[in-house]
């Protein structure tokens, strides 16, 4: 008789080839036989799903709101105007962020056929420039002034 657990069969590409004395708790007439390896795998899978259930039920931290004075970070490739940024940061890494951005205002920008809501920033790295990025690319590190949160959509 062979083990009937589907993962035991799939792991080897064929049916489990364990000997009959390796089966636990079943006699010959029982329709389902489990080998020791299948029981170990079953315990691991059950513990994994229990751990996943605990993770999914944990409380998320509150979302930081975007507003005037908020400290933000944006990927270098998503910041505009890009020609001035590439003069200061010559070879940016693929996931490099500019982290010292302070949100000053927001506005609507049209580039080509697309219109999107943009957040404008001031930065110590780029002292004479007003930078901007799309709102969806902006990550908030600390909230700004409590009375100046931007909760409404502009368009």
CA 4/CA 17 separation, integer angstroms: 11
- Residues in CB range of 91: below 8 A, 6 or more apart: none
Inter-CA distances, 21 with 28, 31, 38, 41, 75, Å: 11, 16, 14, 19, 60
Quote the pLDDT of residue 48: 55
Over the stretch 112-122, which tens digit does the pLDDT of each residue have?
A: 999 999 999 99
Over the stretch 67-77, which tens digit does the pLDDT of each residue have?
A: 999 999 999 99
Percent of the chain with pLDDT over 90: 48
Tokens in use for 25? 């708790």
């Amino acid at each position: 008789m062979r083990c009937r657990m589907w993962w035991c069969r799939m792991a080897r590409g064929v049916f489990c080839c364990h000997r009959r004395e390796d089966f636990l708790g079943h006699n010959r007439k029982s329709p389902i036989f489990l080998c020791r390896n299948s029981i170990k795998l079953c315990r691991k899978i059950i513990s994994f799903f229990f751990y996943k259930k605990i993770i999914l039920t944990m409380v998320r931290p509150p979302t930081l709101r975007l507003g005037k004075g908020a400290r933000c970070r944006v990927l270098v490739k998503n910041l505009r105007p890009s020609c001035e940024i590439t003069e200061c940061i010559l070879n940016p890494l693929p996931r490099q962020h500019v982290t010292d951005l302070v949100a000053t205002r927001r506005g609507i920008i049209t580039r080509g056929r697309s219109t999107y809501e943009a957040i404008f920033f001031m930065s110590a790295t780029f002292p004479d420039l007003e930078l901007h990025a799309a709102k969806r690319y902006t990550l908030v590190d600390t909230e700004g002034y409590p009375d100046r949160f931007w909760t409404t959509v502009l368009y």
